Amino acid sequence: MKKLKHCAVLLVFLLIFANSYGLAHAAYGNTITVTSTYNIPAGWMIKSSSTFAGTTTYVLVDLNGAPYGATQSVTSTYNMPYGWMIKSSSTFAGTTTYVIVNLNNGPARATQQVTSTFNTPAGWMIKSSSTFAGTTTYNLVNLNGLPTGSTEQVTSTYNLPSGWMIQSSSTFAGTTTYNLIKAY
């Protein structure tokens, strides 16, 4: 009986230890309501906030473990994880809502449309862009995972991955197109 009691106490301490060191965590899409944005864990973002009687509460959303292409609406870009980008944004009643998209683990030659190049993950490049009503939309292409000898056309050399080279370029109507080849 005494050994069983010791095992139970040890198990409780182990569970407390595991939880306090992040070994037990929430899953993608889970939310939690807090009253401070101090020390938000990596991968969590502010989904919404509200103020009542002088106290602001924040709803945080967990983005950890999201699949490629997952989207989430947030009201702040604070603490945006690597590989997540702004797909679109809108403002209503003074609050801006951003729709963000996860580009991590995208298949080779996958494409995504975004409205900001902030936080562009390695290997993703601007294939083309267009501006309408003051908003520029960037069409990105993923060059990760392509074999040697692969080619791609892009309109910017920003974020050119290692192993890719500019084979040629041409300019038409003020837009330069770069023909890239993966050398190694």
Is pLDDT at 95 greater than 70 in this prediction? yes
Contact by Cβ (8 Å): 63, 83:
no
Dump pLDDT digits (tens) for 10-66: 444 444 444 444 434 579 999 999 999 999 999 999 999 999 999 999 999 999 999
Mean pLDDT along residues 136-155:
97
Give CA angle at 131 (125, 46), nearest 5°: 70
CA dihedral 145→148→153→159, nearest 10 degrees, is 60
For β-strands 55-62 and 31-34, DSSP reports them as antiparallel
Domains of the chain: which residue ranges? Answer: 29-104
Examine the pLDDT at 3 and tell me if it is beyond 90: no
Confidence at 6, pLDDT banded by 50, 70, 90: low
Digit-coded pLDDT (tens) for 14-27: 444 444 444 345 79
